[in-house]
Amino acid sequence: MIHWPAIIKHDGEDELIYISSALSWQNDEEMLLYIFTDRDVLIDSSGQVFSLSAVQEQFDTSPVLANATLENIIELIQSHAAISATCCIEKIQPKSIGQAIELVSHLSI
């Protein structure tokens, strides 16, 4: 089960996409029609990593691929913030995975 909010990480890209809720995901027609690669993932607020193509096909029953650590997620967010140049990436130090995921909503690109 996906714990919301979550972020989307496309393979080979530093930009992250923030998804606030299941309803937000289900109402985003573009997300539902997008063709994801096998390496595109959704990371939820508990650190669970899901294949986006599996989430697209089996929304409520997608298997967990892995569990990301807070350090993994901080690295992703720092790369995301670096392309927007909105803050000093060294200052990005959330205390939990949930805080880290929520932080993405405040970093616009």
Residue 109 lies in a domain: no
Residue 54 lies in a domain: yes
Residue 72: what pLDDT? Answer: 95
Residue 11: what pLDDT? Answer: 95
pTM: 0.89
**Domain ranges, residue 19:** 6-104
Domain count, the chain: 1
Residue 105 to residue 57: CA distance in whole angstroms: 25
Residue 35 to residue 12: CA distance in whole angstroms: 15
- Listed in sequence order, the residues at least 6 apart from 93 whose beta carbon sits closer than 8 Å to its beta carbon are 74
Residue 1 lies in a domain: no
**Alpha carbon distances (Å) from 102 to 33, 39, 74, 81, 98:** 25, 23, 12, 13, 6
Residue 95 lies in a domain: yes
Interval 58-70 mean pLDDT: 89
Local structure of 19: helix, strand or coil? strand
